[in-house]
Chains A and B, each alone.
Chain A
């Protein structure tokens, strides 16, 4: 929030202080490491490691889409998990009627996510600050209760998929290896898309509205339409994550869109570091791996994780990437 608005409109590349390392090398290393995971995993626990890494990447997509509006637009959406649910239910509902084609399911998921984002975003963006947090929460809850009442599709208990999505009738996603690289491809594509959005003129205006919407309005931009467009893009990408999540678990349930899940997505973004995109992926990895690790020690892992979160907020501002940056500046 602190830099003056004049700086906010400078192109990102003009900032000399930010080391190039964090901006290009770190994401490249990250994706390279993810690409190598299946080969490393061959030495032991292949299925387990692949499943965990796939989960990390799926939530990485969701978190990075949230980072687009949360980090770059300062729009604290507390209902982002709803889009995970839309994506997952698009797969589940179509599959239960016998439509197993991936592209059909994907199209439905993306269209409905975009529509839901467009309608709820247009209403939510009329409000500011905490009212925005609460109204996005309300829309998330609406969808959650709608899903619990869909008796034909499992209601509260959820719905087991008959099969993973088919590509032109072929069970391409069934193998762990192939599915892994499909998810990785989606992650990289989402990252590149968001990176382009952020680097474009649109992205600079969005950051301008984050810093000072009144000044942006004064120089002739309408913050509402830029924020709404960002909201729709973020929701649509998160819908993609929902499609992948349903395919990984082969199960769809309202639990994907509880408000606690939305809270977890916010945690992932903040833990990794706001407004950096790859930070959100690192945050998702940190959250899920820590959860896995702590849950291995004790069933009461949340008693350790909760205080860690509090300490993180109190003492480590800027998240994991913040630590990198601080050490980089010396």
Chain B
């Protein structure tokens, strides 16, 4: 367990965490403000990745592709809101789960229909390719650092938006008591739509950013959706701050658990046993963490006060 490896994996974990945050931020706002379970949030991440892949292939430049993918993801999110989601806000959670599950089925198959079942590959833009030496002996890909930087920048922007602007104030007020905000004369439907579109765009942005390092394929949003739910549940639903901390925590625990779990277990168990148990435990770690958090704090680490 060398220091270099530990540092590399920590950076990987942070980068994974920040991607998770971009997805979870939209999810937690939609959930906190509208009390709406959107299982289709994961496919919006997938759609963002597909848009980025398609536009990059079309224009020949990743940055142009990204610039086109963002408004496309926003428009797509708004379209879904108008067509389906706005009719579900007053329904119970079960109806929402069901309808958004239907959208997952449709879109997972839809991208297969349009782009084929084979994964798409997006080249890393030349400007951000290669690695740099962070420390003697510690090479790290520039693109992953760029993801980390872009994610942190978006997170900072989001904090300013939510905590300093009027729209952000309304969002926070909506998360605390939507009925009261509506009674005070705010067009709550429009607020919902804005939050929804914004959340969809953030998820799309996350998808577009990881397109060059992951394969873009149908169903890529399904597992990350579950992780995003774990994040917002640990963080406390409706809390941006909770989502950020929980996302980084999950990113680090998952990445470090997978790479060092077996080594740590080797301190207590014999090697064969340790690697077996380690491999079994690593993917379960974050769910164990979540169950433990909910056991002691049934509404997450940073519950929104009502």
Contact = CB atoms under 8 A, between A and B. Distances in A.
Given A131-B298, A131-B299, A151-B276, A309 B105 contact: yes
A270 B295 contact: no
A138 B101 contact: no
7 contacts: A128-B298, A135-B290, A139-B291, A145-B284, A151-B279, A306-B106, A309-B98
B103 to A, nearest CB: 6
Contacts of A199: none
Contacts of A123: 291, 294-295
A288 interface: no
B113 A303 contact: yes
Quick one: which of B88, B92, B233 has the most chain A CB within 10 A? B233
Interface stretch (A108-116, A186-194, A237-245, A259-267): A259-267
A307 interface: yes
Contacts of B298: 126-128, 131
B23 to A, nearest CB: 15
Interface in B143-195: none
A68 to B, nearest CB: 15
B98 A266 contact: yes
B37 A302 contact: no
B221 to A, nearest CB: 12
Interface in A121-142: 123, 126-131, 133-135, 137-139, 141-142
B104 interface: yes
Interface stretch (B71-79, B127-135, B222-230): B222-230
B98 to A, nearest CB: 5
Nearest to B112: A300
Nearest to A303: B109
B98 A270 contact: yes
Given A1-B92, A146-B284, A148-B283, A76 B97 contact: yes
Contacts of B283: 145, 148-149
Contact of A141 (B84, B103, B287): B287
A308 interface: yes
B271 interface: no
Nearest to B113: A300
A309 B110 CA distance: 15
A260 B229 contact: no
A85 B92 CA distance: 29
Contacts of A308: 102
Q: How large is the interface on A (under 10, 10 to 19, 20 to 34, 35 or more residues)?
A: 35 or more
Given A70-B94, A266-B101, A307-B106, 20 more contacts: A127-B298, A127-B299, A133-B93, A133-B97, A134-B294, A135-B290, A138-B291, A139-B287, A259-B226, A263-B101, A266-B94, A266-B97, A300-B113, A302-B108, A303-B105, A305-B105, A305-B106, A306-B107, A309-B102, A310-B102
Nearest to B91: A313
Contacts of A305: 102, 105-106
Interface pairs A-B: 6 shortest CB-CB: A306-B106, A309-B102, A306-B105, A149-B280, A145-B283, A302-B109
Quick one: which of A128, A131, A139 has the most chain B CB within 10 A? A131
A259 B228 CA distance: 14
Contacts of B106: 302-303, 305-307, 310
A136 to B, nearest CB: 10
Given A137-B226, A263-B97, A313-B91, A306 B104 contact: yes
Given A126-B295, A142-B287, A309 B99 contact: yes
Interface in B116-143: none
Interface of B: 31, 37, 39, 84, 87-88, 91-95, 97-99, 101-110, 112-113, 222, 226, 229-230, 233, 237, 276, 279-280, 283-284, 287-288, 290-291, 294-295, 298-300
A74 to B, nearest CB: 9
Contact of A134 (B92, B105, B230): B230
Contacts of A312: 98, 102
A127 B294 contact: yes
A150 interface: yes
B87 to A, nearest CB: 6
B102 A150 contact: no
A218 interface: no
A314 interface: yes
Nearest to A306: B106
Contacts of A306: 102-107, 109
Given A135-B291, A310-B102, A141 B94 contact: no
A142 B288 contact: yes
Contact of B84 (A133, A137, A300, A310): A310
B229 A307 contact: no
A35 to B, nearest CB: 31
A267 B98 contact: yes
A302 B110 CA distance: 8
Interface string A145-169: 1101111000000000000000000
A137 B113 CA distance: 29
A313 B98 contact: yes
